[in-house]
A and B are shown apart, each in its own frame.
Chain A
Amino acid sequence: MVEGLLAPINLIIAALGVGFLLPLIARSSASIARGLFWLTQVFLLLISSVWLLRLIDGAPAVEVITAGIQPPFAINLYFGLFEAFVVSAVNLSAILGSWYLIDYFKSRAASMSVYLILTMGISGMVMTRDLFNLFIFIEITALATYGLLALDKRPASLAAGFKYIIATSLASTFFLLGTMLLYHLTGTLNIDDMLLHMDRITGPVGLAAGVLLLVGVIIELKPYPANGWGLDVYETVPAGVAAMISVGVSAGAFFALYKIVPLLGDFLPVVAAVGGATFLASNFIGLRQRNVRRMLGYSSVAQMGLMTLALAVLYMLGKSEYVTLVIGGLFINHLLAKAGLFWLAGVVDRPRTEAWVGLRHRPILLVILGILLAALAGFPPFPGFWGKWELIMQLSAGELPFWVFVVLLGSLLEAAYLYRWFGFALQDDETRAPAVEPVKLIPVGLFALSLLATGHLVADWLGLEAPRVLVPIYMGIILYALDGMPGRLKALLVLGAFAVYAYPVVMGLEGLHWLFGLILLLGGGVIAFAVLHRSDARRGFYPLLGMLLFSLASLLEASSTLEFFFAWEVLTLSSYLLISMGRGAREHILTFLMFSLGSAFLILAGFGFAYGETGSILLADLSKVEKSATLVFMLLTLGFLVKAGAAGLHVWLPGAYSEAEDDFSALLSAVVGKAAIFGLLLAAMHLAVNGVGAINQVLYVVSWLGLISALVGALMALFQEDVKKLLAYSSMGQVGYIVTAIAVSSQLGWVAAGYLTVNHLLFKGLLFLAVAGLVYQTGTRLMYQMGGLIKNLPMTYISVLIGIIAISGVPPLTGFGGKWLLLNALFDKGWYWQAGLAFFASAVAFLYLFRLIHTVFLGQRKQAHKDLREASWLLLFPQILLIVAIMAFSIWPKLLIDPIASSFAGIFPEALIWDGTMLKTRLGYWDGFMVINIVAGVFLVPLLILLFLSRFMQIQKVKQFNIVFAAERPETPETTHYAYNFFSFYEKALGPLLKPRATAFWDGVSEWSHTIGSTLRVLYTGNGQTYALYVLFYVVMIYIAVGGMG
């Protein structure tokens, strides 16, 4: 009995039966009708999910042929694992979607039956193996969709519905014609039988049959440009219905395509092109879209395009075994995320993206939106991430670089408009926080959780050490659950957990990884300690901080490119969210995310082509790449250079570093930025050391790029009034030297790179933390509003002083060693011009360093700052640790250089020779220990003399304004403190050289992308007749394309 009830055929029978009964029952009792409606939905979900579980357990697939009659007159169903999966997903979306339609159904009883029939139609499209059946189910689905639209009874819905029905009728007509011709050729309507007789589908008739069948299904998937009719629908109908159309109907249509793809062997390139064009064009157009629903519509269409592309390409390459992972991943990702987003759009009910301001004050809503968007944008751990990863791998392995480009570009564009929207949601405006009933969030929250869960399942299924890869995510979730605790307690918890986790990780590493283990994890821990200085709860901050810190550990533990990329993306996402917490960050986070994703995609492509050649995703196997080594190296290097803020690619950096919260800026610049250096070294170690292909030329270009960054960073830093922007540009410049040092590709170069990296970590962490304290005390970031603060914040002053000496390269502190190693490396390599530029850039750096310390700490103090106090000791403590490290490395450079050299041991010929404390290269020598002693001597002796003389003098401490002032009396600090526009003469001297060219260029890129979007959008006239015409043209085009191929 129970077994009979659970038969898959009941998916059709129950829905259809109840669907027809409902209007009748509703006449007598609306509540019974509603009860029955819900019951049916639960029943449908029950059947499909029970079968799904059984099939997962290995039960055989079910084949159903009704009424003892052969198809086409009977219904022919096949219920395998994929079918069960899709049908369950669709039923689940349907039932949860109707949660949002309760009010809608109350006023329109008939729509409940249409809704059920729609669900049934989709299930039928998924399950049937018979082409004629498929036609029927397509028609049922289309009609039901139209019915839902029409029952809405608003003019806009009616118009949209009308366009919809015209287009879909055209499509199903073609489909029917195609089916007819195939039947003529093969004598069967069953897809499996047809596959057995593929040889008969030839000649002009075969071609026509295939084309008609294909377009019939493809049109249903709303390909660009024949999709204007589909997009209006998303905008007009209630959110629940829109979600059902976006995920349910599309799923059915896509599954239909999946079924007929084997019949279409020769047409696959055309199918791929159709998908790719749709994916790209829809995402371009999405950029122009400010209406949430319509934007999601474009995203839906784009996702379908991507899946179409993926399906076609996988079959073309004969890699159909990856369909499960790629298509399955993308499908479930799209289904959960897009349905969730449509629902959310309905719940919040603000049509324009810019109206979503204030969501930040509804944490749960924001987290849900964040998860859904992250999933859609392909971030880990969500299933889309795994799908996209495998797709790129297979595309690269199949030597289809063009499609790799299309997929990545399209994904980038999609992320752009989705995250622009998210940017509005992050805006701080409490008055505009939406009021939402918590009940309404249950289904969408459930889907958000399901996304996390499926992400985990996929990782598990792929045989990854899922717990290890996912640790950062788990940390984020656990800490989020504990977010109600007091701020400092959470901070201690994060730091403690990180220490416990990171210690064995670092101990287990060796070589380059060990070195960066210390830099990223130990350095990260020390600098992150500063978060303790704030006692407020900082909702959301600590979970993300945990995610960020743990992802650094994952990055180091990664043994495969997949794990590396996973950690890299988690790092990107968590830094993005952390930056977004800064008050003024809103304008800059999108730029940050775009460049980070651009970088990630370049890296992904690089890993892809490496996999393409070696068939391995192990990081260690990168060194086996030969043929495409130059390409892979270029892609990886470019990707990491974006994150390193190389000149031209740096436009994201100043905004992000300066607008993040003050203590997080330190972590971002000093530690997170070093992940890019790790990546660069990793890529260089595996690919560049052998110097195959044109890699040496690439390195040569990179060496210039690094130093140009050093110069540009230094020059830009000169003209900043904002102290954090100054440091941000300084970071860009200093990392430039590291990049060049890596490009030298010799023992000297790499030791220089390691040394400079550690040094940058120390002094930039120190400076950013010092500035954090400063900003915290003064409440401003503008340097000309400060001045004379040495008397109020002496410890902070010492930090800044040590920091700037360590940057500048003045002996005897650590900076000199870095410059010495770098210049020796450049001379040794014969890169003399670069050496000149390095010198010049470091001289220019002096200017901003002086400005930093002078305008803030020296000169005249503002009256308002008279009673300022020193920064918190909790903020000063990590600074003291960093100062101790700087001093120790200054006195004993060997302490630093030896471990660095040993972590690169054996890669290059030895070029550094130790002679006691003396370090020698082919060209020069330097004894750091002796230098610091001599300097101490020549400093202390005059100091003692002066102190001695002072004993006989009356030293009088004078007040602020007691200065020789050309016979005038100085008035206020504002007029007496030389701080604003400090280097105006430099600007005058260099003039046009300082124009922000990179910003202008990238603004141009954004402008062009939007223009492309507008141009592509011109086709959407809103006119039903035009749309119908497009459909016809489209069919002709496909026919020509396919015929042309034959």
Chain B
Amino acid sequence: MEFWAVKIGYFLITLGMVTVYGLLLGAIIARTMARVQGRIGIPYWQPFLDIIKNLGKRTAVSHGVMFYMGPVFRIAGGIGTLAFVPVIYGSEMFSNFHFAGDLLLAMYFIFFGQLGMALGAGESGHPFSAIGVARGLGQMTAFELPFVLAIIAVVIQYDTLSITEIVAAQQGGVSNWTLFTNPLAVAAAMLAFLGMSGYPPFDVFTAPNEIPIGPPTEYHSSFLALMATNRAIFASAKLILFMDLFFGGATGLIEMIIKTWAIYMVAVVVGASFPRFRVDQSIRFFLRVPTLIGIASIAFVQIFLLG
């Protein structure tokens, strides 16, 4: 029992920290993008204000049970994903519940929130929500392929499915990072990451700048607050997973912050430079070059690393 109390306590600390960090990261990115476009952008604390404001709303509209539960599923997906990924290598406090399952668990749990959200959005009865979900899922299947191939390359390389062991294998110097030992896998995974992060050119499923489309269309007040919180947590969880698998993990908070920010910046830089793909174009994109790189990465591991 004591074990669980400690674990849950530690996890709550991690969760709080990651939430704050994720929200801040969102603000930083928003400001960065604003500067690129010649604007000043939002203050750093804007995301916090938004959440507090939304939580404070006194009225809410519900379209039914699933609609009500959608954001809960969503945030459970985000928190759960974080729970199954160790944040900081060698730290008891920041290792979360990763002992409950391996990399496969984290990978499949990513879908949990998406599925729940999709259902909630579906019950809103708004056709644009459903269109957004369909497009988002379609694109997800496509970038999943290079991502998975990269993961497989990593698993072969380190001969384990345990995230902690993968991080452990990358310790002892920058040259041990997957980025340098298996660059093809990282290339495939980072291309997939572009799709995962929802920045241009792969942002058609939320189309954030024009008509309301995508899952959040009908959500407001506390629902929206939960979703905004989740966006911070979920994005951080995925960044941490990428960091663990490909960039040597982190042994301290500062290292974690720098690395995840840097990974995020890849998507931001690409997003700032490109216009938007139609969804069928992005599907085709992911199934071509990134997939080939992914395949090459497995071949690379089998031929050069395993002999």
Q: Interface of A with B (CB < 8 Å)?
A: 788, 790-791, 801, 805, 808-811, 816, 819-820, 823-824, 827, 832-833, 835-836, 839-840, 843-844, 846-847, 850-851, 853-854, 857-860, 923-927, 930-931, 934-935, 937-939, 942-943, 946, 949-950, 952-958, 960-966, 976-979, 982-983, 985-986, 988-990
Contact = CB atoms under 8 A, between A and B. Distances in A.
B197 to A, nearest CB: 17
Given A854-B122, A927-B100, A978-B131, A847 B141 contact: yes
18 contacts: A788-B125, A790-B123, A839-B144, A847-B134, A850-B115, A850-B134, A924-B102, A924-B162, A935-B76, A942-B79, A942-B226, A955-B62, A957-B64, A976-B125, A977-B125, A978-B130, A986-B280, A986-B283
Contacts of B62: 955-958
Given A811-B109, A925-B101, A958-B61, A843 B123 contact: no
B104 A934 contact: no
Interface in B257-306: 278-281, 283-284, 287, 294, 298, 302
Contacts of A858: 66, 119, 122-123, 125, 130
Contact of B212 (A805, A942, A946, A966): A966
A925 B103 CA distance: 9
Contacts of A946: 68, 71-72, 222-223, 226
A533 B281 CA distance: 48
A813 B283 CA distance: 29
A846 B111 CA distance: 9
Contact of A811 (B75, B101, B217): B101
B108 A811 contact: yes
- Would you list the 4 A-B pairs with minimal beta carbon distance, nearest first? A924-B161, A858-B122, A924-B102, A989-B283
A439 B109 CA distance: 69
B59 interface: yes
A203 to B, nearest CB: 71
A931 B101 contact: yes
B20 interface: no
B287 to A, nearest CB: 8
B118 interface: yes
A853 B126 CA distance: 15
Nearest to A939: B76
B298 A836 contact: yes
A840 B123 CA distance: 28
Nearest to A927: B100
A927 to B, nearest CB: 5
Contacts of B222: 946, 949-950, 953
Given A843-B144, A844-B141, A934 B119 contact: no
Given A942-B75, A957-B62, A989-B280, A923 B123 contact: no
B79 to A, nearest CB: 4
B115 A953 contact: no
Given A836-B298, A963-B218, A964-B126, A953 B278 contact: no
B69 interface: yes
Interface centre among B60, B124, B130, B211 (most CB of A within 10 A): B130
B179 interface: no
B51 interface: no
B149 interface: yes
Given A809-B108, A811-B109, A943-B72, A953 B140 contact: no
A567 B226 CA distance: 57
Interface stretch (B28-36, B152-160, B240-248): B152-160
Contacts of B133: 850, 854
Interface string B135-157: 10110111011001100100110
A837 to B, nearest CB: 9
Contacts of B118: 850, 854
Given A846-B140, A982-B134, A832 B104 contact: no
Nearest to A963: B126
A823 B279 contact: no
Contacts of B212: 964, 966
A807 to B, nearest CB: 11
A436 B17 CA distance: 85
A925 B71 CA distance: 30
B149 A836 contact: yes
Nearest to A957: B62
Nearest to B80: A938
Contacts of A989: 138, 142, 279-281, 283-284, 287
B97 A819 contact: no
A978 B298 CA distance: 39
B66 A923 contact: no
A147 to B, nearest CB: 75
Contacts of A820: 101, 104-105
B63 interface: yes
A823 B108 CA distance: 12
Contact of A810 (B63, B79, B112, B156): B112
B61 A811 contact: no
Contacts of B131: 978
A677 to B, nearest CB: 23
A956 B59 contact: yes
Contacts of A788: 125
B73 interface: yes
Contacts of B127: 859-860, 976-978
B255 to A, nearest CB: 26
Given A832-B302, A840-B148, A859-B130, A930 B100 contact: yes
B279 A956 contact: no
Interface string B79-90: 110011000000
Contacts of B103: 924
Given A805-B115, A958-B63, 6 more contacts: A791-B64, A924-B162, A953-B57, A956-B62, A965-B126, A966-B211
A985 B155 contact: no
Nearest to B69: A943
B218 A964 contact: yes
B140 A931 contact: no
A911 to B, nearest CB: 14
A961 to B, nearest CB: 7
Contacts of B57: 953
Contacts of B128: 966, 978
Contacts of A925: 99, 101-102, 161-162
B137 A850 contact: yes
B55 interface: yes
A894 B85 CA distance: 24
Nearest to A805: B115
Nearest to A973: B125
B39 interface: no
Contacts of A952: 58
Contacts of B217: 964
Contacts of B226: 942, 946
A808 B217 CA distance: 25
A840 B68 CA distance: 31
A827 B155 contact: yes
Contacts of A986: 138, 280, 283
A964 B128 CA distance: 10
A923 B105 contact: no
A560 to B, nearest CB: 42
B79 A938 contact: yes
B108 A819 contact: yes
Contacts of A964: 126, 212, 217-218
A702 B280 CA distance: 32
A915 to B, nearest CB: 11
A934 B111 CA distance: 16
Contact of B119 (A853, A953, A958): A853
A715 to B, nearest CB: 10
A832 B305 CA distance: 15
A937 B69 CA distance: 15
Contact of A847 (B71, B79, B138): B138
B181 interface: no
Contacts of A931: 100-101, 105
A957 B58 CA distance: 14
B272 to A, nearest CB: 25
